[in-house]
Structure 1
Amino acid sequence: MAYIDFIGSLHNATKRDYISRVISDDKAECAAIAKQYDYDYWDGERKFGYGGYHYDGRWKSVAEKMVEYYGLKSGQRILDVGCGMAHLLYEFSQVVPGIEVKGIDISDYALKHAKEEIRDSLQYGKAQEIPFEDNFFDLVISLTTLHNLKVFDLKRAVQEIERVSKGNSYIMVESFRNDREEVNMLYWQLTCASYYSVDEWEWLYKEWGYTGDYSFIFFE
């Protein structure tokens, strides 16, 4: 199990007004709408989520880094748990022609509006009940998804990722290293159910038998 950051620079490129998030609207109401993971979360106003989730090529560099790090080749299989509109999976398919990509998500809206070129490779599925057999994928990834699960489902999801992977996996979640980042995270997040510091996440991974790689995004 190793810490490696593929996402931090992409995350930090967005500027966030944490205070405005909690005083400009009814945060609880916005969170309730966001957790439906429907139009408002993806393509509605920013207060409900992404504020418009459109393909712009930003995930290509992430795919390239992962391909190099994991030595991915044509004919191998990748699963994205919580794939959303699958922009990263699309980039994998472009960076490594012939690689097999699969994605699962609980958002029907995201699946219906996913990148058209790989839409047929996506399906509805829960992280805690991954619908594939043991040791099926050469790489399993999950980005900004597992922190949305309560601890009992979170444990199952981490163990499911371990189960369907041949050995390589990568989980990235929101976390914090100090009080300021914890407060900013609570101000900004809309869908989180698991709020853990870095050392707590690392302890949970070891406790649940996770052997893959991991990283975090922070709200500095």
Structure 2
Amino acid sequence: MARIDFIQSLHASSRRNYIQRVVEHDKAACATVARQFGADYWDGERCYGYGGYRYDGRWRPVAERLAAHYGLRPGHRVLDIGCGKGYLLYELTQAVPGIEVAGIDISSYGIDHAKEEIRPFLQVGDCRTLPYPDASFDFVVSLGTFHNLPLEGVWQALREMQRVGRGPGKYFMVESFRTEEEKVNLLYWQLTCLSFHSPESWAWIAEQAGYDGDCGFIFFE
């Protein structure tokens, strides 16, 4: 399993006040609301999640890098696990015209408010039990989703990701930490995480699940 960074520069472009996150609001109450993955999480106040998640083109460079690295071409079938509002999938269709896309997310609000062009290809569902046949996608991607599951759920989701993909074209990204400082920052900032692991531990979990794709991480520096 190769470790590849497609996201950290985008992640690092947002400034975060970690201490303010835990003293300005009731963090536990905010996390409880966030884990409903509803309107407050996507488009409510920042203390509950994104603080307004709207299309702004930020995912185009990521889509282009993914498409180039995995050799995506017209006719390929692509699945985004935890697709949210579908912005990455939309950008993939722009980067590689003619690909076929599908997305799944636990949030009905996210799907209902997805980018209009991509919404017909998305559905509400659980990444631990994907509603797709074996080996039905040429490329499967999941960004910022699996850390929201308990450990047993991570194992199930990775098994499902492995099952529906064909070949080596699989990539997941999760939040992680390399130092004690990054671990504390992650704990301060996160609202929805249930699994907190170092990159080495994530790699071990993926191996135990039989996952043979690639992975990446974002760090709260």
Bin of the TM-score, shorter chain as denominator length = over 0.9
Q: Deviations over 1:67-121 (max 9, x none)?
A: 1101101011000000000100000111111100100001010000000001000
Could you say what secondary structure the match of 1:170 adopts?
Answer: strand
Q: Distance in 1 between matches of 2:64 and 2:210?
A: 28
Could you say what secondary structure the match of 1:209 adopts?
Answer: coil
Q: Distance in 2 between matches of 1:82 and 1:19?
A: 28
Q: Distance in 2 between matches of 1:78 and 1:126?
A: 17
Matched AA of 1:157: A
Q: Distance in 2 between matches of 1:173 and 1:56?
A: 22
Q: TM-score, normalised by structure 2?
A: 0.99
Q: Distance in 2 between matches of 1:136 and 1:48?
A: 35
Task: Give 2:142's aligned residue.
Answer: 142
Q: Distance in 1 between matches of 2:37 and 2:203?
A: 28
Number of equivalences: 220
Task: Give 1:101's aligned residue.
Answer: 101
Could you say what secondary structure the match of 2:136 adopts?
Answer: coil
Q: Distance in 1 between matches of 2:152 and 2:209?
A: 11
Q: Distance in 2 between matches of 1:35 and 1:208?
A: 25
Task: Give 2:202's aligned residue.
Answer: 201
Q: Distance in 1 between matches of 2:73 and 2:97?
A: 8
Task: Give 2:211's aligned residue.
Answer: 210
Q: Distance in 1 between matches of 2:105 and 2:10?
A: 22
Q: Distance in 2 between matches of 1:95 and 1:200?
A: 33
Large movers: runs of 4+ above 3 Å: none
Q: Distance in 2 between matches of 1:96 and 1:33?
A: 37
Q: Deviations over 1:129-154 (max 9, x none)?
A: 01100000000000000000011111
Q: Distance in 2 between matches of 1:51 and 1:122?
A: 23
Unaligned stretches of 5+ residues in structure 1: none
Q: Distance in 2 between matches of 1:52 and 1:72?
A: 31
Matched AA of 2:114: A
Q: What is the aligned-residue identity percentage?
A: 56
Q: Distance in 2 between matches of 1:76 and 1:3?
A: 23
Q: Distance in 1 between matches of 2:54 and 2:153?
A: 29
Matched AA of 1:13: S
Q: Distance in 1 between matches of 2:93 and 2:55?
A: 15
- What pairs up with 1:1-220 in 2 under 5 angstroms? 1-167=1-167, 168-220=169-221
Q: TM-score, normalised by structure 1?
A: 0.99
RMSD over equivalenced CA pairs, Å: 0.6
Matched AA of 1:5: D
Unaligned stretches of 5+ residues in structure 2: none
